[in-house]
Structure 1
Amino acid sequence: MTARVTWSRIGLALAGAIVLALGVGWSGAINVAASSGHWPVTQWFLHWVMRNSVETRSALNSPDEVADSTGLISAAGHFAGSCMACHGAPGIRPSPVFQAATPAAPNLAETAPAWTDRQLYWILDHGVKFSGMPAWPARGREDEVRRMVTFVRRQPSMSPAQFRALTGGAAGVAGSPRFEACAGCHGADGRGRGAGDIPILGGQRPEYLLGSLRAYRSGDRASAVMGNAAAQLSDDDIRVLAERFAGMTGLGGLSGSGDRAAERIVAQGLPERQLPACLSCHRPGKPYPVLVGQKASYIAARLRQMRGDGKQVDARQSQATMPVIARRIPDDMIDRLARHLAGVEGDVPR
């Protein structure tokens, strides 16, 4: 005797399976304790699904440029402050608290070589569900993700001394005094430790630094690096840091590179393009940042991000006037203008 397979029987079987699954879930029979770990077959299956997903989606969605070796200081600083507790770092063991998770955060020195740069980019940018690996908290900050890809790629061969050097010796240790933690990237003199992606803070207007730190803390300015650094700052911390960095030497003085076209934009603007002069806003007495003496690489990168060559990263589009102004700057004047404001000659490093 054979049983006939009918649509009604298939429907009843599916309904029974759903009811059974709901009943098991309702009963509490499934053990969700992290202390119990996974069965080996479950561990294998979840990792197999994750790897297949990353390989497919990174091939389809990762940008062509996925690594940037010019910003290892800021990447190392962010890793020390945000990632080290889970993954550890050269010469530093991960926190046992996070190692008690299921799954535990992997040792990147062992696992990173198994992924391509495009795959690392996708994991860092999007995170992985059910693993504790978060997405990059500042959406659209491809520049930060690219720098972190390079840092993670180099970490397996990095010595503890090299890691300490990148973080300025602070190494993002929990409880590090606020200024020392900031100086790990920005330098004890506020000059950014020679890194092109880290701005000079010394001599900046204290009101601007105050507002910037508050905006990073609230999320109004998008940066995973600065957002994490500012998240635990109190109002008093922000005030003290702003005043301390503002009191250093660095910015200000006279700009000049001998470029008359750049000087015209700085002093007069380009009325035919409805481009106002830089000094109409960025001069003493105005509530805008000091640009004279800032790093040329930082100014050029920010202008390109604002004008649409990259992502707008420092202000929400509806609240920003600079993206409109930046788009009116002629393409061939971005680097020249940045050099003139910085007071340097020669090419701007990218």
Structure 2
Amino acid sequence: MTIRITWARAIATLVGLGAAGLLFAWSGLFNIAASSGHWPITDWFLHWTMRNSVRTHAAFTSPDDPADATGLVSAAGHFANACAVCHGAPGVKPAPVMQSATPPAPDLAINAREWSDKQLFWILQHGVKYTGMPAWAVQDRPDEVRRMVAFVRRLPGVTPAQYEALVNEANPGDDLASCTGCHGADGKGRGAPDIPVLGGQDPAYLLAALKGYADGTRSSAVMQQVAMRMTPAAMTDAARRFAAMPGLGAAPAGSAAAARIVTQGIARIQLPACASCHAPGKPYPVIAGQRADFIAQRLRHWQGDDTIVDARKSAATMPVIARRIPKEMIDPVARYLAGQTTATR
């Protein structure tokens, strides 16, 4: 006796299987407890699917330069604040409660070796569903993600002493410890090119920046993680103490072309002078004496932000202004503002 397969029977079978699956889900018999773990076949299938997805999406969407090793201090600081509790760190064990998840967070000193830089970038930026691995807190800061890729790539070779040196430059009991780990006890950014000098900055600007990071109106996953934990009193104290440190305010110096952009602007391309906003008494940050590589990095980041198209309709004016600066003048302008008369390596 043979059973003839028809479209009607095939569809009826599929409907029946679907109904059986819904009935099983409705019954509550499936054990979703993290403590129960996965069946080996389930664990293999989920990880196989995840690896295939990461490989495909990273190949088409990750940047060609997914790692930036110039910002290891800020990346390590963020790792200590947001990642080590799940993944652990050199000399630091992960929290037992986080390791009781299904699946548990992997040891990145081992697991990161299985991924390319482009794949690490995609995982860090977008996260992975159903694993507890979150997406990067803000999606418009690929520069932060690139720095974290470089840090994670180096984890296998980082000793506990080296990790401690990267994440900690604070005196025991110092209530500014969450800030000085990256910005330095002297407010000068520990020499890192992606960390601004805060010493001598306007205290009102520093306070407004902290509040902006805390409520999400300023974009930085690294700073949000710190600012959201600070009380208003702690923000005020941090702004006051950093502003009182020496640092900013050096006299600009450099090329005549850069000086013209800073002091006069370029009328024919509607580029206003930097000094028209960044000057004493103005409600904008002090940039005279700021680190040149930090200024250049931020200008290039703003030049790539094409979501802001009209400065008159947005508070985010810097992307519009930055795009008007000739690309070849970014470094000279940054060096001029920093008071550097020559390029440094």
* Fold equivalence (TM over 0.5): yes
Cα distance, 1:345 vs structure 2 = 2.7
Match in the other structure for 1:168: 168
Q: Distance in 2 between matches of 1:251 and 1:121?
A: 34
Find the counterpart in structure 1 of residue 338 from structure 2. Answer: 342
Question: Residues 265, 169 of structure 1: CA spacing in aligned structure 2 closer, same or farther, 3 A cutoff?
Answer: closer
Aligned-pair distance for 1:201?
0.5
Report the AA paired with residue 252 of structure 1.
G
1:283 and 2:279 are equivalent in the alignment = yes
Choose which of 316, 324, 330 in structure 2 pairs with 1:328.
Answer: 324
Question: What does residue 318 of structure 1 align with?
Answer: 314
Q: Partner residue of 1:67?
A: 67
Give yes or no for the alignment of 1:179 onto 2:176. Answer: yes
Superimposed CA distance per residue, residues 147-180 of structure 1 (whole angstroms, 9 cap, x where no aligned partner): 1111001001110000011112569x9xx75411
Distance (Å, rounded) in 2 between the aligned partners of 1:103 and 1:177 = 37
Query: Is 1:203–1:246's contact at 8 Å kept on the other side of the alignment?
Result: yes
Instruction: List aligned pairs for 1:144-163, cutoff 5 A.
Output: 144-163=144-163
1:286 maps to amino acid = K
1:46 aligns with: 46
Q: Which residue of structure 2 lines up, in the alignment, with residue 98 of structure 1?
A: 98
Tell me how far apart the structure 1 counterparts of residues 213 and 305 of structure 2 sit (CA, whole Å): 22
Q: What is the CA–CA distance in structure 2 between the aligned matches of 1:216 and 1:256, rounded to whole Å?
A: 32
**Per-residue CA distance 1:242-286 (angstroms, 9 max, x = gap):** 1111111101142112x1111122222222222222111111110
4+ aligned runs moved over 6 Å, structure 1: 309-312
Paired amino acid for 2:55: E
Structure-2 separation of matches of 1:213 and 1:169: 20
Contact preservation (8 Å) 2:262, 2:274: yes
Distance 2:168 2:245 in 1: 18
Matched, 1:224 2:221: yes
Give the equivalent residue in structure 2 for 1:5: 5
Task: Show the counterpart of 1:56.
Answer: 56
Matched, 1:82 2:79: no
Q: Is the 8 A contact 2:170 2:185 kept in 1?
A: no
For residues 183-262 of structure 1, what are the structure 2 equivalents within 5 Å?
183-257=180-254, 259-262=255-258
Following superposition, the deviation at residue 94 of structure 1 comes to 0.3
Amino acid of the structure 2 residue aligned with 1:66:
P
- 245-254 or 189-198: which moved more? 245-254
C-alpha contact (below 8 Å) 1:204/1:245 kept by paired residues: yes
SS in structure 2 of the partner of residue 319 of structure 1: coil
Q: Which residue of 1 aligns with 2:262?
A: 266
C-alpha separation between the residues in 2 aligned to 1:141 and 1:111?
Answer: 24
Report if the CA contact (8 A) 2:200-2:248 is conserved.
yes
Contact (CA 8 Å) 2:86, 2:98: kept in 1 or not? yes
- Aligned residue for 1:200, secondary structure, equals coil
CA 1:20/1:327 → structure 2, altered by over 3 Å: closer, same or farther? Answer: same
Separation of aligned partners in 2, 1:60 and 1:329: 30
**Alignment partners' CA distance in 2, 1:140 and 1:276:** 25
Over residues 196-252 of structure 1, what are the superposed CA-to-partner deviations in whole Å (9 max), with x where a residue is unaligned? 000000110111111111111111111111111111112111111111111111011
Kept in 1, the 8 Å contact 2:263–2:273? The answer is yes
Whole-angstrom CA distance in 2 between matches of 1:310 and 1:345: 32
Deviates more, 1:135-144 or 1:180-189: 135-144
Distance 1:296 1:208 in 2: 20
Of 96-105 and 247-256, more deviation after overlay is shown by: 247-256
After TM superposition, the structure 1 stretch with the greater mean CA deviation from structure 2, 213-222 or 319-328, is: 319-328
- What is the deviation of 1:308? 2.2
- Secondary structure at the residue paired with 2:314? helix
Contact 2:305 2:319 in 1 (8 A): no
Partner of 2:125, secondary structure, is helix
Identity of aligned residues (%): 57
Does the CA contact (< 8 Å) of 2:170 and 2:176 recur in 1?
no
Q: Cα–Cα, structure 1 residues 311 and 318, in superposed 2: closer, same or farther, change >3 Å? A: closer
CA distance in 2, matches of 1:309, 1:30: 47
Instruction: Give, in angstroms, the shift of residue 183 of structure 1.
Output: 0.2
Number of residue pairs the alignment of both structures matches: 342
Maintained 8 Å contact 1:140/1:311: no
- Which residue identity is paired with 1:48? W
Q: Residues 268 and 276 of structure 1 are in contact (CA less than 8 Å); yes or no, is this contact kept in structure 2?
A: yes
CA contact (8 A) 1:297 1:348 kept: no
RMSD value, Cα: 2.0
